[in-house]
Structure 1
Protein backbone atom coordinates (compact mmCIF):
# COMPACT_ATOMS: atom_id res chain seq x y z
CA UNK A 1 0.00 0.00 0.00
CA UNK A 2 1.56 3.35 -1.03
CA UNK A 3 2.38 5.72 1.79
CA UNK A 4 0.09 8.74 2.22
CA UNK A 5 1.69 11.50 0.08
CA UNK A 6 1.22 14.26 2.64
CA UNK A 7 2.57 12.11 5.49
CA UNK A 8 5.51 11.15 3.29
CA UNK A 9 6.47 14.81 2.94
CA UNK A 10 6.09 15.36 6.67
CA UNK A 11 8.29 12.33 7.36
CA UNK A 12 11.03 13.90 5.22
CA UNK A 13 10.73 17.17 7.17
CA UNK A 14 10.95 15.29 10.46
CA UNK A 15 14.14 13.53 9.34
CA UNK A 16 15.87 16.90 8.87
CA UNK A 17 14.49 18.20 12.18
CA UNK A 18 15.65 15.07 14.00
CA UNK A 19 19.20 15.39 12.68
CA UNK A 20 19.38 19.07 13.66
CA UNK A 21 18.24 18.19 17.17
CA UNK A 22 20.91 15.46 17.35
CA UNK A 23 23.58 17.95 16.33
CA UNK A 24 22.49 20.43 19.00
CA UNK A 25 22.47 17.82 21.73
CA UNK A 26 25.76 16.37 20.52
CA UNK A 27 27.32 19.82 20.85
CA UNK A 28 25.98 20.12 24.40
CA UNK A 29 23.85 23.16 23.61
CA UNK A 30 20.46 23.99 25.06
CA UNK A 31 17.67 25.33 22.87
CA UNK A 32 18.29 28.82 24.28
CA UNK A 33 22.08 28.62 23.82
CA UNK A 34 21.79 27.54 20.18
CA UNK A 35 19.27 30.30 19.50
CA UNK A 36 21.64 32.84 21.00
CA UNK A 37 24.51 31.74 18.77
CA UNK A 38 22.28 31.78 15.67
CA UNK A 39 20.75 35.16 16.49
CA UNK A 40 17.09 34.22 16.74
CA UNK A 41 14.46 33.58 19.43
CA UNK A 42 14.60 30.19 21.13
CA UNK A 43 11.01 29.53 20.02
CA UNK A 44 12.28 29.27 16.44
CA UNK A 45 14.67 26.52 17.47
CA UNK A 46 11.80 24.57 19.00
CA UNK A 47 9.62 25.02 15.92
CA UNK A 48 12.42 23.76 13.66
CA UNK A 49 13.18 20.77 15.88
CA UNK A 50 9.50 19.82 15.95
CA UNK A 51 9.18 20.16 12.15
CA UNK A 52 6.64 22.96 12.48
CA UNK A 53 8.88 25.49 10.70
CA UNK A 54 11.02 24.61 7.69
CA UNK A 55 14.57 25.96 8.12
CA UNK A 56 16.12 27.95 5.30
CA UNK A 57 19.53 27.02 3.94
CA UNK A 58 20.96 29.97 5.91
CA UNK A 59 19.30 28.71 9.11
CA UNK A 60 20.86 25.28 8.63
CA UNK A 61 24.33 26.72 8.01
CA UNK A 62 24.14 28.85 11.16
CA UNK A 63 22.86 25.85 13.14
CA UNK A 64 25.67 23.58 11.93
CA UNK A 65 28.28 26.27 12.59
CA UNK A 66 27.03 26.65 16.17
CA UNK A 67 27.28 22.87 16.58
CA UNK A 68 30.71 22.69 14.93
CA UNK A 69 29.28 20.49 12.19
CA UNK A 70 29.84 22.68 9.12
CA UNK A 71 30.51 19.56 7.05
CA UNK A 72 26.85 18.55 7.37
CA UNK A 73 25.34 21.90 6.42
CA UNK A 74 25.08 21.53 2.65
CA UNK A 75 23.74 17.99 2.80
CA UNK A 76 21.04 18.93 5.30
CA UNK A 77 20.15 22.06 3.33
CA UNK A 78 19.64 19.96 0.19
CA UNK A 79 17.62 17.39 2.15
CA UNK A 80 15.42 20.13 3.59
CA UNK A 81 14.86 21.70 0.18
CA UNK A 82 13.84 18.32 -1.21
CA UNK A 83 11.42 17.78 1.67
CA UNK A 84 9.74 21.13 1.06
CA UNK A 85 9.50 20.57 -2.71
CA UNK A 86 7.78 17.24 -2.14
CA UNK A 87 4.49 18.82 -1.06
CA UNK A 88 3.52 22.00 -2.88
CA UNK A 89 0.05 23.43 -2.59
CA UNK A 90 -1.68 24.28 -5.88
CA UNK A 91 -2.32 27.85 -4.69
CA UNK A 92 1.43 28.42 -4.70
CA UNK A 93 1.98 26.67 -8.04
CA UNK A 94 -0.79 28.59 -9.78
CA UNK A 95 0.30 32.11 -8.84
CA UNK A 96 1.50 32.74 -12.39
CA UNK A 97 -1.44 31.01 -14.06
CA UNK A 98 -2.15 27.62 -15.59
CA UNK A 99 -0.05 28.23 -18.68
CA UNK A 100 3.13 28.72 -16.69
CA UNK A 101 2.36 25.54 -14.73
CA UNK A 102 2.31 23.54 -18.00
CA UNK A 103 5.55 25.05 -19.22
CA UNK A 104 7.43 24.38 -15.99
CA UNK A 105 7.07 20.65 -16.67
CA UNK A 106 8.62 20.73 -20.14
CA UNK A 107 12.22 19.99 -18.99
CA UNK A 108 11.00 16.97 -16.99
CA UNK A 109 9.10 15.65 -20.02
CA UNK A 110 12.15 16.14 -22.23
CA UNK A 111 14.37 14.18 -19.82
CA UNK A 112 11.98 11.25 -19.35
CA UNK A 113 12.19 8.11 -21.47
CA UNK A 114 9.54 5.99 -19.73
CA UNK A 115 6.24 7.52 -18.62
CA UNK A 116 3.87 5.48 -16.45
CA UNK A 117 0.53 7.05 -15.52
CA UNK A 118 -2.49 5.77 -13.62
CA UNK A 119 -5.77 7.67 -13.38
CA UNK A 120 -9.12 6.74 -11.90
CA UNK A 121 -10.77 10.06 -12.73
CA UNK A 122 -9.52 11.78 -15.90
CA UNK A 123 -7.87 11.07 -19.23
CA UNK A 124 -4.13 11.49 -18.55
CA UNK A 125 -2.66 14.79 -19.72
CA UNK A 126 -0.35 13.02 -22.19
CA UNK A 127 -3.39 11.92 -24.20
CA UNK A 128 -5.69 14.89 -23.71
CA UNK A 129 -7.09 16.71 -26.73
CA UNK A 130 -7.06 20.48 -26.75
CA UNK A 131 -10.85 20.71 -26.29
CA UNK A 132 -10.88 18.32 -23.34
CA UNK A 133 -7.86 20.00 -21.73
CA UNK A 134 -9.32 23.49 -22.22
CA UNK A 135 -12.59 22.51 -20.54
CA UNK A 136 -10.75 20.83 -17.67
CA UNK A 137 -8.26 23.64 -17.09
CA UNK A 138 -10.95 26.31 -17.27
CA UNK A 139 -12.91 24.42 -14.62
CA UNK A 140 -9.77 24.29 -12.46
CA UNK A 141 -9.25 28.04 -12.90
CA UNK A 142 -12.83 28.68 -11.81
CA UNK A 143 -12.55 26.34 -8.83
CA UNK A 144 -9.28 27.92 -7.71
CA UNK A 145 -10.61 31.43 -8.23
CA UNK A 146 -7.67 32.39 -10.42
CA UNK A 147 -7.68 36.07 -11.40
CA UNK A 148 -6.85 35.14 -15.01
CA UNK A 149 -8.49 32.17 -16.71
CA UNK A 150 -5.84 31.12 -19.23
CA UNK A 151 -7.23 27.61 -19.61
CA UNK A 152 -7.44 27.76 -23.42
CA UNK A 153 -3.80 28.90 -23.78
CA UNK A 154 -2.67 26.37 -21.17
CA UNK A 155 -4.50 23.60 -23.08
CA UNK A 156 -2.61 24.43 -26.26
CA UNK A 157 0.67 24.30 -24.35
CA UNK A 158 -0.32 20.99 -22.74
CA UNK A 159 -0.96 19.42 -26.14
CA UNK A 160 2.34 20.80 -27.44
CA UNK A 161 4.14 19.41 -24.39
CA UNK A 162 2.56 16.00 -24.95
CA UNK A 163 3.97 15.64 -28.46
CA UNK A 164 7.02 14.17 -26.79
CA UNK A 165 5.24 10.78 -26.96
CA UNK A 166 5.70 10.79 -30.75
CA UNK A 167 9.48 11.02 -30.47
CA UNK A 168 11.68 7.98 -30.84
CA UNK A 169 13.15 6.48 -27.70
CA UNK A 170 10.04 7.15 -25.57
CA UNK A 171 7.69 4.64 -23.98
CA UNK A 172 4.33 5.58 -22.50
CA UNK A 173 2.31 3.17 -20.35
CA UNK A 174 -1.09 4.54 -19.34
CA UNK A 175 -3.73 2.94 -17.16
CA UNK A 176 -7.23 4.29 -16.65
CA UNK A 177 -10.26 2.95 -14.85
CA UNK A 178 -13.20 2.42 -17.21
CA UNK A 179 -15.11 5.10 -15.31
CA UNK A 180 -12.71 7.69 -16.79
CA UNK A 181 -14.40 7.10 -20.15
CA UNK A 182 -17.73 8.23 -18.71
CA UNK A 183 -16.64 11.26 -16.67
CA UNK A 184 -17.69 13.93 -19.17
CA UNK A 185 -15.38 16.93 -19.33
CA UNK A 186 -16.55 19.76 -21.57
CA UNK A 187 -19.48 19.44 -23.94
CA UNK A 188 -20.49 16.26 -25.77
CA UNK A 189 -18.52 17.22 -28.88
CA UNK A 190 -15.31 17.74 -26.89
CA UNK A 191 -15.79 14.47 -25.03
CA UNK A 192 -16.48 12.53 -28.23
CA UNK A 193 -13.33 13.98 -29.80
CA UNK A 194 -11.33 12.99 -26.72
CA UNK A 195 -12.59 9.43 -26.74
CA UNK A 196 -11.98 9.20 -30.47
CA UNK A 197 -8.40 10.32 -29.93
CA UNK A 198 -7.89 7.56 -27.37
CA UNK A 199 -8.68 5.04 -30.12
CA UNK A 200 -5.98 6.61 -32.29
CA UNK A 201 -3.36 7.31 -29.63
CA UNK A 202 -3.74 3.86 -28.11
CA UNK A 203 -2.50 2.41 -31.41
CA UNK A 204 0.73 4.43 -31.44
CA UNK A 205 3.83 2.18 -31.33
CA UNK A 206 5.25 3.87 -28.21
CA UNK A 207 1.94 3.92 -26.31
CA UNK A 208 0.40 1.16 -24.20
CA UNK A 209 -3.11 2.13 -23.13
CA UNK A 210 -4.81 -0.14 -20.63
CA UNK A 211 -8.37 0.16 -19.40
CA UNK A 212 -9.38 -1.50 -16.13
CA UNK A 213 -12.95 -2.75 -16.68
CA UNK A 214 -15.51 -1.84 -14.05
CA UNK A 215 -16.62 -5.48 -14.16
CA UNK A 216 -13.22 -6.85 -13.12
CA UNK A 217 -13.61 -9.37 -10.31
CA UNK A 218 -11.39 -9.76 -7.25
CA UNK A 219 -9.34 -6.64 -7.85
CA UNK A 220 -5.64 -6.96 -7.12
CA UNK A 221 -5.53 -3.29 -6.13
CA UNK A 222 -8.15 -0.69 -5.31
CA UNK A 223 -8.52 2.60 -7.23
CA UNK A 224 -6.12 5.20 -5.79
CA UNK A 225 -5.04 8.77 -6.45
CA UNK A 226 -3.75 9.77 -9.89
CA UNK A 227 0.01 9.35 -10.11
CA UNK A 228 2.73 9.75 -12.73
CA UNK A 229 6.05 7.89 -12.69
CA UNK A 230 8.93 9.47 -14.62
CA UNK A 231 11.46 6.75 -15.40
CA UNK A 232 12.24 5.21 -11.98
CA UNK A 233 13.31 8.45 -10.31
CA UNK A 234 10.19 10.48 -9.58
CA UNK A 235 6.55 9.89 -8.68
CA UNK A 236 4.20 12.88 -8.97
CA UNK A 237 0.84 12.62 -7.22
CA UNK A 238 -2.08 14.97 -7.74
CA UNK A 239 -4.24 15.69 -4.71
CA UNK A 240 -7.11 18.16 -4.47
CA UNK A 241 -4.96 20.58 -2.49
CA UNK A 242 -1.41 19.91 -3.64
CA UNK A 243 1.04 18.13 -5.88
CA UNK A 244 3.39 15.72 -4.17
CA UNK A 245 6.77 14.72 -5.61
CA UNK A 246 8.34 11.54 -4.26
CA UNK A 247 11.99 10.69 -4.88
CA UNK A 248 12.71 8.20 -2.11
CA UNK A 249 13.56 4.85 -3.78
CA UNK A 250 11.56 2.73 -1.31
CA UNK A 251 8.43 4.84 -1.82
CA UNK A 252 8.85 4.85 -5.61
CA UNK A 253 9.07 1.07 -5.41
CA UNK A 254 5.69 0.94 -3.65
CA UNK A 255 4.03 2.97 -6.40
CA UNK A 256 5.65 0.79 -9.06
CA UNK A 257 4.31 -2.27 -7.25
CA UNK A 258 0.83 -0.74 -7.19
CA UNK A 259 1.14 0.16 -10.88
CA UNK A 260 2.00 -3.41 -11.82
CA UNK A 261 -0.96 -4.80 -9.89
CA UNK A 262 -3.28 -2.30 -11.56
CA UNK A 263 -1.75 -3.10 -14.95
CA UNK A 264 -2.48 -6.80 -14.53
CA UNK A 265 -6.21 -6.04 -14.28
CA UNK A 266 -6.35 -3.91 -17.44
CA UNK A 267 -7.35 -4.93 -20.94
CA UNK A 268 -5.49 -3.77 -24.02
CA UNK A 269 -5.78 -3.66 -27.78
CA UNK A 270 -9.13 -4.73 -29.22
CA UNK A 271 -10.66 -5.25 -25.78
CA UNK A 272 -9.70 -1.75 -24.65
CA UNK A 273 -10.95 -0.26 -27.93
CA UNK A 274 -14.29 -2.03 -27.45
CA UNK A 275 -14.72 -0.35 -24.06
CA UNK A 276 -13.87 3.05 -25.56
CA UNK A 277 -16.31 2.56 -28.45
CA UNK A 278 -19.02 1.62 -25.96
CA UNK A 279 -18.42 4.87 -24.04
CA UNK A 280 -18.64 6.86 -27.29
CA UNK A 281 -21.98 5.22 -28.08
CA UNK A 282 -23.21 6.09 -24.60
CA UNK A 283 -22.75 9.79 -25.37
CA UNK A 284 -25.77 9.52 -27.64
Structure 2
Protein backbone atom coordinates (compact mmCIF):
# COMPACT_ATOMS: atom_id res chain seq x y z
CA UNK A 1 0.00 0.00 0.00
CA UNK A 2 2.86 2.38 0.76
CA UNK A 3 4.36 1.63 -2.66
CA UNK A 4 1.07 2.52 -4.41
CA UNK A 5 0.10 6.11 -3.51
CA UNK A 6 -3.16 5.95 -5.46
CA UNK A 7 -4.52 3.41 -2.99
CA UNK A 8 -3.63 5.28 0.19
CA UNK A 9 -6.68 7.54 0.53
CA UNK A 10 -8.84 5.04 2.38
CA UNK A 11 -5.94 4.28 4.76
CA UNK A 12 -4.86 7.85 5.53
CA UNK A 13 -5.14 7.61 9.37
CA UNK A 14 -2.79 4.62 9.28
CA UNK A 15 -0.47 6.09 6.63
CA UNK A 16 -0.04 9.39 8.47
CA UNK A 17 0.80 7.59 11.69
CA UNK A 18 3.29 5.05 10.37
CA UNK A 19 5.14 7.46 8.11
CA UNK A 20 6.22 9.22 11.29
CA UNK A 21 7.09 5.87 12.90
CA UNK A 22 9.15 4.78 9.89
CA UNK A 23 11.05 8.06 9.53
CA UNK A 24 14.77 7.33 9.48
CA UNK A 25 14.29 3.55 9.13
CA UNK A 26 16.12 2.19 6.06
CA UNK A 27 13.73 -0.25 4.40
CA UNK A 28 15.19 0.02 0.90
CA UNK A 29 16.01 -3.72 0.56
CA UNK A 30 12.46 -4.64 1.60
CA UNK A 31 10.96 -2.08 -0.76
CA UNK A 32 13.18 -3.52 -3.52
CA UNK A 33 11.24 -6.81 -3.41
CA UNK A 34 7.76 -5.24 -3.17
CA UNK A 35 7.05 -3.39 -6.44
CA UNK A 36 4.09 -1.00 -6.74
CA UNK A 37 2.59 -3.41 -9.28
CA UNK A 38 3.45 -6.73 -10.85
CA UNK A 39 4.86 -9.90 -9.36
CA UNK A 40 5.79 -9.96 -5.65
CA UNK A 41 8.09 -12.85 -4.68
CA UNK A 42 6.15 -15.68 -3.07
CA UNK A 43 8.66 -16.31 -0.28
CA UNK A 44 7.42 -13.11 1.42
CA UNK A 45 3.93 -14.53 1.93
CA UNK A 46 4.09 -18.13 3.15
CA UNK A 47 0.59 -19.64 2.90
CA UNK A 48 -1.15 -20.16 6.25
CA UNK A 49 -1.28 -23.64 7.76
CA UNK A 50 -4.20 -25.38 9.42
CA UNK A 51 -3.46 -23.80 12.82
CA UNK A 52 -2.80 -20.12 13.64
CA UNK A 53 0.92 -19.35 13.50
CA UNK A 54 2.83 -16.88 15.63
CA UNK A 55 4.75 -14.02 14.07
CA UNK A 56 7.97 -15.82 15.01
CA UNK A 57 6.90 -18.94 13.10
CA UNK A 58 5.88 -16.86 10.06
CA UNK A 59 9.24 -15.07 10.03
CA UNK A 60 11.11 -18.35 10.39
CA UNK A 61 9.23 -19.67 7.35
CA UNK A 62 10.57 -16.69 5.40
CA UNK A 63 14.07 -17.14 6.83
CA UNK A 64 14.03 -20.80 5.76
CA UNK A 65 13.54 -19.90 2.08
CA UNK A 66 15.86 -21.99 -0.08
CA UNK A 67 18.47 -19.73 -1.76
CA UNK A 68 17.70 -21.23 -5.19
CA UNK A 69 14.00 -20.40 -4.76
CA UNK A 70 14.88 -16.89 -3.66
CA UNK A 71 17.07 -16.34 -6.71
CA UNK A 72 14.40 -17.70 -9.06
CA UNK A 73 11.66 -15.51 -7.62
CA UNK A 74 13.71 -12.31 -7.47
CA UNK A 75 14.91 -12.91 -11.05
CA UNK A 76 11.31 -13.46 -12.14
CA UNK A 77 10.29 -10.19 -10.47
CA UNK A 78 13.07 -8.19 -12.14
CA UNK A 79 12.06 -9.57 -15.55
CA UNK A 80 8.33 -9.00 -15.05
CA UNK A 81 7.05 -6.33 -17.42
CA UNK A 82 4.23 -5.65 -14.96
CA UNK A 83 6.65 -3.90 -12.60
CA UNK A 84 7.28 -0.19 -13.39
CA UNK A 85 10.51 0.36 -15.40
CA UNK A 86 11.51 3.33 -13.21
CA UNK A 87 11.15 1.18 -10.08
CA UNK A 88 13.25 -1.63 -11.62
CA UNK A 89 15.97 0.85 -12.61
CA UNK A 90 16.06 2.43 -9.14
CA UNK A 91 16.34 -0.94 -7.38
CA UNK A 92 18.69 -2.60 -9.90
CA UNK A 93 21.83 -2.37 -7.74
CA UNK A 94 20.02 -3.91 -4.75
CA UNK A 95 18.68 -6.68 -6.96
CA UNK A 96 22.21 -7.50 -8.16
CA UNK A 97 23.44 -7.68 -4.55
CA UNK A 98 20.57 -9.99 -3.59
CA UNK A 99 21.14 -12.35 -6.50
CA UNK A 100 24.88 -12.48 -5.76
CA UNK A 101 24.37 -13.24 -2.04
CA UNK A 102 20.93 -14.84 -1.53
CA UNK A 103 21.59 -16.25 1.98
CA UNK A 104 22.59 -12.84 3.35
CA UNK A 105 19.70 -11.16 1.53
CA UNK A 106 17.13 -13.59 2.97
CA UNK A 107 18.35 -12.93 6.51
CA UNK A 108 18.36 -9.18 6.05
CA UNK A 109 14.89 -9.10 4.52
CA UNK A 110 13.50 -11.26 7.33
CA UNK A 111 14.93 -8.86 9.91
CA UNK A 112 13.42 -5.91 8.05
CA UNK A 113 10.03 -7.62 7.94
CA UNK A 114 10.21 -7.90 11.72
CA UNK A 115 11.12 -4.21 12.05
CA UNK A 116 8.29 -3.20 9.73
CA UNK A 117 5.80 -5.38 11.62
CA UNK A 118 6.82 -3.87 14.97
CA UNK A 119 6.50 -0.26 13.77
CA UNK A 120 3.69 -0.35 11.23
CA UNK A 121 1.40 -3.27 12.03
CA UNK A 122 1.76 -4.46 15.62
CA UNK A 123 0.18 -1.30 17.14
CA UNK A 124 -2.94 -1.96 15.04
CA UNK A 125 -2.86 -5.74 14.89
CA UNK A 126 -5.70 -6.58 17.28
CA UNK A 127 -8.00 -4.24 15.37
CA UNK A 128 -6.94 -5.57 11.96
CA UNK A 129 -7.11 -9.19 13.05
CA UNK A 130 -10.59 -8.65 14.49
CA UNK A 131 -11.83 -7.19 11.19
CA UNK A 132 -10.32 -10.04 9.16
CA UNK A 133 -11.80 -12.72 11.40
CA UNK A 134 -15.17 -10.98 11.18
CA UNK A 135 -15.00 -11.29 7.38
CA UNK A 136 -14.07 -14.98 7.62
CA UNK A 137 -16.90 -15.74 10.02
CA UNK A 138 -19.40 -13.86 7.86
CA UNK A 139 -18.42 -15.93 4.82
CA UNK A 140 -18.62 -19.14 6.84
CA UNK A 141 -22.23 -18.24 7.68
CA UNK A 142 -22.89 -17.64 3.97
CA UNK A 143 -21.41 -21.05 3.18
CA UNK A 144 -23.55 -22.75 5.83
CA UNK A 145 -26.68 -21.22 4.36
CA UNK A 146 -26.00 -21.11 0.63
CA UNK A 147 -22.95 -23.25 -0.13
CA UNK A 148 -19.46 -22.56 -1.41
CA UNK A 149 -20.64 -21.09 -4.73
CA UNK A 150 -22.15 -18.10 -2.91
CA UNK A 151 -18.87 -17.48 -1.11
CA UNK A 152 -16.81 -17.60 -4.31
CA UNK A 153 -19.20 -15.31 -6.19
CA UNK A 154 -19.14 -12.74 -3.37
CA UNK A 155 -15.35 -12.45 -3.04
CA UNK A 156 -14.74 -9.87 -5.77
CA UNK A 157 -15.95 -8.91 -9.24
CA UNK A 158 -12.73 -10.35 -10.71
CA UNK A 159 -13.42 -13.79 -9.22
CA UNK A 160 -15.79 -16.19 -10.98
CA UNK A 161 -17.08 -19.69 -10.26
CA UNK A 162 -18.88 -21.89 -12.84
CA UNK A 163 -19.49 -24.93 -10.65
CA UNK A 164 -16.21 -26.70 -11.40
CA UNK A 165 -13.66 -23.99 -12.06
CA UNK A 166 -12.55 -20.91 -10.14
CA UNK A 167 -11.25 -18.10 -12.35
CA UNK A 168 -9.45 -14.92 -11.36
CA UNK A 169 -9.15 -12.17 -13.96
CA UNK A 170 -5.45 -11.30 -14.12
CA UNK A 171 -2.70 -10.06 -16.42
CA UNK A 172 -1.01 -13.45 -15.97
CA UNK A 173 -2.04 -16.68 -17.68
CA UNK A 174 -2.06 -19.85 -15.59
CA UNK A 175 -4.18 -23.01 -15.40
CA UNK A 176 -3.96 -25.70 -12.78
CA UNK A 177 -5.94 -28.68 -11.49
CA UNK A 178 -6.28 -28.73 -7.72
CA UNK A 179 -6.46 -32.54 -7.47
CA UNK A 180 -7.93 -32.35 -3.98
CA UNK A 181 -5.44 -29.80 -2.62
CA UNK A 182 -8.04 -27.08 -2.16
CA UNK A 183 -7.69 -23.29 -2.14
CA UNK A 184 -6.98 -21.07 0.85
CA UNK A 185 -9.06 -17.85 0.85
CA UNK A 186 -7.33 -14.94 2.61
CA UNK A 187 -9.01 -11.57 3.30
CA UNK A 188 -6.72 -8.54 3.18
CA UNK A 189 -6.98 -5.02 4.55
CA UNK A 190 -4.22 -3.64 2.32
CA UNK A 191 -4.46 -5.25 -1.14
CA UNK A 192 -6.62 -2.40 -2.46
CA UNK A 193 -8.71 -3.48 -5.44
CA UNK A 194 -6.32 -6.30 -6.33
CA UNK A 195 -7.02 -10.02 -6.13
CA UNK A 196 -3.71 -11.79 -5.53
CA UNK A 197 -2.98 -15.46 -6.16
CA UNK A 198 -0.45 -17.96 -4.89
CA UNK A 199 0.25 -20.77 -7.34
CA UNK A 200 1.68 -24.32 -7.13
CA UNK A 201 4.02 -25.82 -6.10
CA UNK A 202 2.97 -23.75 -3.06
CA UNK A 203 -0.51 -24.06 -1.56
CA UNK A 204 -3.00 -22.42 -3.93
CA UNK A 205 -4.22 -19.20 -2.34
CA UNK A 206 -6.51 -16.32 -3.31
CA UNK A 207 -6.07 -13.04 -1.43
CA UNK A 208 -9.11 -10.78 -1.78
CA UNK A 209 -9.85 -7.26 -0.43
CA UNK A 210 -11.98 -7.11 2.69
CA UNK A 211 -14.99 -4.88 1.89
CA UNK A 212 -15.28 -1.53 3.62
CA UNK A 213 -11.66 -1.17 4.72
CA UNK A 214 -12.02 2.59 5.26
CA UNK A 215 -14.45 1.79 8.08
CA UNK A 216 -11.67 -0.08 9.89
CA UNK A 217 -9.93 3.23 10.64
CA UNK A 218 -13.14 5.17 11.25
CA UNK A 219 -14.29 2.67 13.83
CA UNK A 220 -11.02 3.09 15.61
CA UNK A 221 -11.09 6.90 15.61
CA UNK A 222 -14.72 7.81 16.36
CA UNK A 223 -17.11 7.04 19.15
CA UNK A 224 -20.32 5.55 17.82
CA UNK A 225 -23.22 4.64 20.09
CA UNK A 226 -23.29 0.88 20.60
CA UNK A 227 -26.64 -0.90 21.02
CA UNK A 228 -24.76 -3.56 22.96
CA UNK A 229 -23.55 -0.95 25.43
CA UNK A 230 -27.13 0.05 26.13
CA UNK A 231 -27.97 -3.61 26.80
CA UNK A 232 -25.02 -4.87 28.88
CA UNK A 233 -22.93 -1.79 29.62
CA UNK A 234 -20.00 -0.28 27.77
CA UNK A 235 -17.28 -2.48 29.30
CA UNK A 236 -19.02 -5.81 28.66
CA UNK A 237 -20.05 -4.65 25.18
CA UNK A 238 -16.38 -3.93 24.46
CA UNK A 239 -15.42 -7.41 25.65
CA UNK A 240 -18.01 -9.01 23.36
CA UNK A 241 -16.95 -6.90 20.38
CA UNK A 242 -13.26 -7.64 21.03
CA UNK A 243 -13.91 -11.38 21.13
CA UNK A 244 -14.72 -11.53 17.44
CA UNK A 245 -11.11 -12.67 17.66
CA UNK A 246 -10.45 -15.07 20.60
CA UNK A 247 -8.15 -13.52 23.19
CA UNK A 248 -6.65 -14.01 26.62
CA UNK A 249 -7.51 -11.93 29.69
CA UNK A 250 -4.22 -10.06 29.37
CA UNK A 251 -4.79 -9.24 25.70
CA UNK A 252 -8.28 -7.93 26.42
CA UNK A 253 -6.98 -5.85 29.33
CA UNK A 254 -4.28 -4.30 27.15
CA UNK A 255 -6.70 -3.57 24.33
CA UNK A 256 -9.34 -2.05 26.61
CA UNK A 257 -6.85 -0.30 28.91
CA UNK A 258 -8.19 -1.76 32.14
CA UNK A 259 -7.02 -4.26 34.77
CA UNK A 260 -6.99 -8.04 34.20
CA UNK A 261 -9.09 -8.37 37.35
CA UNK A 262 -11.87 -6.23 35.87
CA UNK A 263 -11.76 -8.24 32.63
CA UNK A 264 -12.02 -11.49 34.60
CA UNK A 265 -15.15 -10.23 36.35
CA UNK A 266 -16.80 -9.31 33.05
CA UNK A 267 -15.78 -12.63 31.48
CA UNK A 268 -17.29 -14.50 34.44
CA UNK A 269 -20.66 -12.79 34.00
CA UNK A 270 -20.66 -13.33 30.23
CA UNK A 271 -19.66 -16.97 30.69
CA UNK A 272 -22.54 -17.51 33.13
CA UNK A 273 -24.88 -16.13 30.45
CA UNK A 274 -23.46 -18.53 27.81
CA UNK A 275 -22.12 -15.62 25.76
CA UNK A 276 -18.44 -16.45 26.27
CA UNK A 277 -16.58 -19.75 26.66
CA UNK A 278 -13.05 -20.11 28.08
CA UNK A 279 -10.53 -22.80 27.23
CA UNK A 280 -6.98 -23.43 28.42
CA UNK A 281 -4.43 -23.45 25.57
CA UNK A 282 -0.97 -24.23 26.94
CA UNK A 283 -0.30 -21.76 29.74
CA UNK A 284 -3.00 -19.33 28.65
CA UNK A 285 -6.78 -19.27 29.02
CA UNK A 286 -8.37 -18.15 25.76
CA UNK A 287 -11.86 -16.64 25.70
CA UNK A 288 -14.12 -16.79 22.64
CA UNK A 289 -17.76 -16.17 21.78
CA UNK A 290 -20.30 -18.96 21.88
CA UNK A 291 -22.93 -19.28 19.15
CA UNK A 292 -25.20 -17.19 21.36
CA UNK A 293 -22.50 -14.53 21.70
CA UNK A 294 -21.92 -14.44 17.94
CA UNK A 295 -25.68 -14.15 17.32
CA UNK A 296 -25.89 -11.22 19.75
CA UNK A 297 -22.95 -9.50 18.08
CA UNK A 298 -24.40 -10.01 14.57
CA UNK A 299 -27.79 -8.67 15.66
CA UNK A 300 -26.22 -5.58 17.21
CA UNK A 301 -24.17 -4.94 14.07
CA UNK A 302 -27.22 -5.34 11.86
CA UNK A 303 -29.12 -2.90 14.03
**TM-score scaled by length of structure 2:** 0.27
**TM-score scaled by length of structure 1:** 0.28
Bigger relative contact order, structure 1 or 2 (CA pairs below 8 A, ≥6 apart): 1
